[in-house]
Amino acid sequence: MKLIKCTITCLFFVIFFGCESDQKKKFEITKIIDAVYKNQKNFYDIPLDTALFSSSIIKEMKNIRHLTELDVKRVQNSEFPTDKPFQFEGSVFTSLSDGYSKYTITTITINDNKVYVTIDFEYNSTPKVKWTDKVVLINNNGWKIDNILFSKIAGCKDLKERLHYAPVEDDADEIIHSSATDSKGRILSMRFNTTKDIVTIHYLNEVFVLMGQRPASGMWYANGEYELRGKGDQVSLSKSGKVIFTTFEEISVPFKEAQNYFLLTNYKEAPLHTVKITNQKFFDTLFGAATIMGKNGKPTPIDFNSNYIIAIIDKTSNRAKELSVKSITQLKNELTIVMFSSEISKYTYVSRPIKLLIVPNAYQGALKLEEY
């Protein structure tokens, strides 16, 4: 009987003090996360604090600051001393370079000497942007941030890649300079580092860095906010899905969202895709109308005599997913739809997210969907 009591007592102390130890770790980790995210700072004002960041992260940050100092001197001694030198701009530690309006720590997972902290972010733009990042901490004389795994809107997979691809150039790197002028006389300067597969853009007194992507054809660089595409001698620069510079004959396509329709249950299961619908009969085989109470409760009227529908249909899921179309552009025989998506919450049932876009018949072309 004494042996049983002793065993139970020992087990109690192991569980109790084990839980207490985990809670203490989580408290320390939360303090570190809040120290980094509570007050958003310019990259150059972020303290290189060895109590917050690992040595590898601090090394990369020092390299970027050193590059800025060198570029400031270069610009001052150049023929164009009023040019803006390289600066690392935007929110460094989140997927969205515009930053965030609020953040929420959702989970802290402790695995021996490594911790994963899941953080939900929200940015109050129109439309509202939501995403989730995962902060990785290591135990090296205390918990320190060693990486941040970004969501797909970032344009790079993690913090280490973002810092590494800042334009820190080695003497052996192959550098190619190029420029383009649009119909309004604006100049886009491009500095390609083909060794690191990055490009530094100078445009309208702004300087930013884009990373090489994998296009089916032509040229494609991106960083989550800006995107540079090209084919032959033609280039196009976009910001948050909107074209801000182009030498292409690109057209912005007007569209309107059709509300209060639902996808019929007999529709085939498939990953995210688009469907072009040009008549009422075909439309009725795919969608039903859903009139609801209140203002704007009736289904949006669709005039197929002068318009057609672009239906964006996602796969079946038990997660509430918000689809937000930023723009449609037409270039020659192609319509590019730029769409942002984010998971909001988990359902107790399954559904299929859809978005119906009413487009004038004057704008035709093969459909290309770009999801961020």
pLDDT tens-place string over residues 151-180: 988 877 889 888 876 655 555 678 888 999
CA 210 – CA 240 distance, rounded (Å): 13
Cβ atoms of 329 and 322 closer than 8 Å: no
Choose among 310, 297, 286: nearest CA to 360: 310
DSSP-derived secondary structure letter, 86: P
Query: What's the N-to-C CA distance of the chain in angstroms?
Result: 64
What are the residue ranges spanned by the domains of the chain?
Answer: 43-164, 175-248, 252-371
CATH class (in words) of the domain with range 43-164? alpha beta
Cβ atoms of 358 and 307 closer than 8 Å: yes
Which residues of the chain fall short of a pLDDT of 70?
Answer: 1-20, 165-172, 346-349
pLDDT at residue 13, as a whole number = 47
Helix (H, G, I), strand (E, B) or coil at 211: strand
Cβ atoms of 334 and 302 closer than 8 Å: no
Q: How far is CA 180 from CA 52, 183, 184, 203, 273, in A?
A: 42, 10, 11, 10, 34
pLDDT at residue 357, as a whole number = 97
The number of C-alpha atoms within 13 Å of 199 and in the hemisphere containing its C-beta is: 25
Bridge partners, 132 (sequence order) = 120
Cβ atoms of 287 and 243 closer than 8 Å: no
CA 190 – CA 175 distance, rounded (Å): 10
Phi, psi torsion values for 45, nearest 5 degrees: -100, -5
Overall fold of domain 175-248: Lipocalin (2.40.128)
Helix (H) or strand (E) holding 67: helix 55-76
Cβ atoms of 329 and 118 closer than 8 Å: no
Choose among 145, 148, 153: nearest CA to 122: 153
Q: What is the pTM of this model?
A: 0.48
pLDDT at residue 165, as a whole number = 65
Cβ atoms of 77 and 93 closer than 8 Å: no
